[in-house]
Amino acid sequence: MEIIPAIDLRGGRCVRLRQGDYQRETVFGDDPVAMARRWISEGGPRLHLVDLDGARDGIPANSECVGEIVQAAGVPCQLGGGIRTELAVRTLLDDVGLDRVIVGTQALKAPEWFREMATAFPGRICLGLDARDSMVATEGWRDVSQTSALELAAAYADLPLAAIIYTNIARDGMLEGIDPETLQDLQQLAQLGPPVIASGGVTTLEDVRQLVDLSVASPRLIGAIVGRALYEGTLDLEAAVELTSA
């Protein structure tokens, strides 16, 4: 299982939000490339990048910064936030050099388009499932739908997805740990077929240990994205990577 450091971008800076709330922002640095190099030097096997401006506005907004990170990183990078057109997908994968892109809003609102993209780019499209009380949220987490995360994931389980990335919004950026509801959702998602990556709530090494234990019983759980815990120092990346590599 991989531990994947997250770098959230807003206005070209490294920030973290609490529960996706743009009014509750903490700035952790003005040099995202330096931050990327730090996480890689500590053993991060890939980077999870989020374009917060793009997620809010519906169009990628930090592509230049993302490109600089990709060039400097030397490890695979994935990006989510505002990816809602074929042009955006092609540009980010072919020109910017990302390994994967993450699509959330359009997977719910434009299912035929999402199927076309996943088929055209096998193994390079991630389904982003951002959930409040297990229901899918879109438009930068501002709108909560009547579709459950499990229902949407099941609808696309036949596609050649790179992964399903599941985020419990209530836990994201709160340093409150992984909750039983999230573990149950991850277990159910891991039974569908595509690889699953957990996001939101990983706070301590004990949270990582819980996910590692779950991955033994559910081998389709292949990774966990970690953000604020790394920036606040409640989780040591090297120790987490060592635990998942044991």
Beta strands 135-138; 143-148: pairing state: antiparallel
Catalytic-role residue among 8, 172, 185, 207: 8
The H-or-E segment that residue 231 falls in is helix 228-232
Q: Which of 131, 134, 70 is nearest to 96 (CA)?
A: 70
Rounded Cα distance, 25 and 43, in Å: 27
Who's near 146: CB < 8 A, 6+ residues apart? 135
Catalytic-role residue among 53, 130, 185, 207: 130
8 included as an active-site residue:
yes
Rounded Cα distance, 25 and 205, in Å: 25
Q: Which of 189, 181, 144 is nearest to 165 (CA)?
A: 189
Rounded Cα distance, 140 and 121, in Å: 24
Distance of CA 32 to the CA centre of its chain: 17
Annotate 76-141 with DSSP letters as a single string. -EEEESS--SHHHHHIIIIII--SEEEE-HHHHH-HHHHHHHHHHSTTTEEEEEEEETTEEEETTT
Q: Which positions are catalytic? A: 8, 130
